[in-house]
Chain A
Amino acid sequence: MNTQTLAAQLASRHQPVKPISFGRICLEWASVTAISFAALVFYYGGFRADLSARLLEPFFTAEIALNFLLVVVAGLSATACAYPDRARTRMHQILLWIVFTGYSAIFLMAAFHRPDLAGPASGHEPHGLECLQCLLAFAIIPACWMSWRLRQLACVKPMQMGFTAILMAMATGGLGVRLLESGHLQDGLMLTHYLPILLLSGAGLLLGGKFFRW
């Protein structure tokens, strides 16, 4: 078949097309994430008891704020990858790395220099597999929604989209765990919260190359 015939065939089947706006997709994932987050907070019996006191601590507040920003920026970045013209802009990538670096820096500062700011060392349950389950419970719905919805668009950077979509979902999980669990910073937190976030986001990078191709 020559190209002109293909163009004629495509045109003969053509119907009016309603563009799906970038803002609408962002609103959708933000709503789904917020609803699932609220439902899980309710399911787990509300926020941690010492949350109001902890929010007065600058490191904790900065960590939570940057975690929240990471959710938003990673979500925006994943959505941008699904729009060919927006995927080529570097602003969202730069913003993502600034927030990610800031988040990591704050976490490391709190963990190594002022561990007391991350919570008292006694009287709390240690972090363990329950944290990981909780993290995954918070992450699963946003991850599934992002994967399903963004696949319907036109991803031109599948690996980047896989990474950022899973990072957004896992950061949501991380935020949920930090607002629910009152354990202090320790190796367990690193192992059961942040390592899975990085590992699964890395897996998203690899799987995105397969899953988001069209």
Chain B
Amino acid sequence: MKNDTREALLRPLFAQALSGDKRAYEKLLNEIAGFARNYVRRRLASPTDHDDVVQEILLSVHKALHTYDPARPCLPWLAAIMHYRLSDWLRKHYSIRAVRTLSADHAGDVFDQIASDEVTADPFAYESLEKAVETLPRGQQAVIQAMYREELTVRETSEKLGMSISAVKVTAHRAYRKLRMRLEGE
């Protein structure tokens, strides 16, 4: 879809959404989600993270709607939010790696392996990891359980456990660090 067409489609929806029309707002968010998905797909290699970033973008649009001026084009406003949210996501992603802790991707791979049928191929690693997980505080165990056994996204985990998204990320990050220290110590 060309930008002019997209602008013509989204701008009336923005105006209706500002006036409180819930149906128009839902339609607007779904249109933005499609647009954002294409944007993220072109810039982010890992497909498993696409939905998280798109949902972050939708939440940001929801929070920032009062800064949109209906007299101005909506696409520059939307593009700036998408760019900011993606950059923010990448910054967090790489800052976690930069402190040389076990990255979410790495931990995800380890836990994905556990969740798959291949765990029997390396029973020692499985048992070690199981034991290490059992030594974690209950909150951290619950997050690990939800994210890597039940394969829930960060957002779903936050809803299931009644925690904020950032609290889930922090808890998971601390759990990875502890697991790494314990497994390296063995």
Q: Tell me the A residues contacting B by CB distance below 8 Å.
A: 1-4, 6-8, 10-12, 14-22, 82-85, 87-88, 153-154, 156, 213-214
Contacts and interface: CB of A to CB of B under 8 A. Distances in A.
Given A1-B155, A19-B67, 8 more contacts: A7-B30, A10-B29, A10-B59, A20-B66, A22-B69, A84-B78, A156-B83, A214-B63
A83 B159 contact: no
Interface string B145-173: 00000000101100100000000000000
Interface of B: 17-20, 22-23, 25-26, 29-30, 33, 37, 51, 54-55, 58-60, 62-70, 72-73, 76-81, 83-84, 88, 153, 155-156, 159
A84 B72 CA distance: 12
Which of A3, A8, A22, A83 has most chain B Cβ within 10 Å? A3
A85 B77 contact: yes
A153 B60 CA distance: 11
A16 B30 CA distance: 18
A2 B51 contact: yes
B58 A10 contact: yes
Contacts of A154: 60, 63-64, 67, 81
Contacts, number: 103
B77 A11 contact: no
B66 A14 contact: no
Given A1-B155, A1-B156, A8-B26, A88 B17 contact: no
Contacts of A20: 66-67
A85 B80 contact: yes
